[in-house]
Structure 1
Amino acid sequence: MTNTTDTPTGAPRAVLADDERLMRDQLRARLAEAWPELQIVAEAKNGAEAVELVEQHRPDVVFLDIRMPGMTGVDAAKQIAQMDVGDDGVLPEIVFITAYDQYAVEAFEQGATDYILKPAERDRLKLTVERIGKRLAAKRGAGDGDADAPAAPGGEPIQQLLHKLAASGGARPAYLKWIQATVGQAIQMIPVEDVLFFISDEKYTRVQTPQVEALIRKPIKELVDELDPERFWQIHRSTLVAVNAIAAVTRDFRGRQIVSVKGNPQKLEVSRSYTHLFKGM
């Protein structure tokens, strides 16, 4: 959790929340281009920190990653929407940072929130900045308006929108499409569709593609929830393999099932808990 001070008087202020440092860095840089006067007063790594920082700083805008450990972005937004209004009598604007599918994006379009798709694209971010700028200007002009229930153009309060998103399934995260991984001294964005398998040790998870071997800090137990189970099978507590990368499954001299991977010499052991995946072997 980080705090920034010395913001110019009258400048719009924001709290940014995302558990991935690379995404925070990228969004901060893109916001500096699209909205130079915006001041990032604090950054959070999870939803609970975001709620605390919003309570502390009373920003004009909150950028919330949907998928964060512990408290999700939607849950954090619910708590923020229920806060007592600050001295200016208004709640902050909510902008979700999301990898959602089009269904959920359409829901955001109809509500009192806005959204940024990961990774943040300049053109889409510019549109978000224009929308939020207009809303902030309208709030200043409204003065004594109904600040307790900020509404979308269609009149739907944000609390109702967030309830609908959670209840309808719109709050379910889309499966990962990109992996941010360390390759040598650089951080690369690796398409999930290129990954052959993931193997974890105590500190890191190895990401293997046909061309690249990379490392991430995300454990297998988190990846299991974030990857499409029809595309990636867990075959060991420390191993996930892409189904379409499985070349063959054989047994070694001890009777253990061993997965051979297309285009890679690695042999992956199937633990007893997952042998049912390969019935008849």
Structure 2
Amino acid sequence: MSTKPIPRPRALLADDEPHLLRVLQDRLHELWPELEIVATAEHGLAAAQQIGRLQPDIAFLDIQMPGLTGLEVAQGIEGATRVVFVTAYDEHALSAFEHEAVDYVLKPVRPERLQLTVDRLRRALAIRPDAPMLADEARGAPAPSLPEGAELAKLLAQLMPRATSAQTMLRHLRASHGSTTHMIPVEDILYLQSDEKYTLVRTTEHEYLIRSSILELASQLDPQRFWQVHRGILINVDHLLSTRRDDNARLLLRMRGHERELPVSRAYVHLFKAM
């Protein structure tokens, strides 16, 4: 009687330092030979796109990366991919951040510490591959305590600073449409969406391209007006027309004067609960 082969666990590694990326990859090969590393990424946007496309079981994410931070990438994950942060941040600050993260590992990565992470991931995947909870939580052990809201807000403010002064906020974006460069008033922007190289700027009439990342733009735009709703997407709430749920319970947005609907990641659904 034939039995189905057990699928190999699949992982993505993301770090903007190639040397540290190779070190992590080599140590995982040694400690977890059956782990299949399906992709590596050296910036946040690439990591987010690869996770969305490949749906790996695990994502090992650095915190500070160009394009999107590891925190933003983790917030945008919509599937069952588990997250491990590999970071230079101290243990207390990082343990406060993300209750769905399986673990965090401090740099430089020590083999004995990484072994603990591997053991935890093995248990988590064996218990229930589609569950986002911690392995110890699934076994009935209490989850580690999280910080109070003020402490978490302070951490997020340090990692993802936003402009707070009217003098520092952008009032126009310099963007290209064809071979022509335009100065676009920010109040005319419906939304911004990044890919690996460019950010698309959408107004009611045209699409433009700029080279700035979503992370850079978010730090220079009014946070009361421009909300992040998905990895790589900022919307201008002044132009929000309606929200709806599709058959899969996903939240979708419609902007005034624009036919396309924009998805809202689960990490940002709470922004629209009062609507």
Q: What TM-score do you get using the length of structure 1 for normalisation?
A: 0.47
Bigger radius of gyration among the two: 1
Q: Which has the higher contact order (CA 8 A, sep 6+)?
A: 2
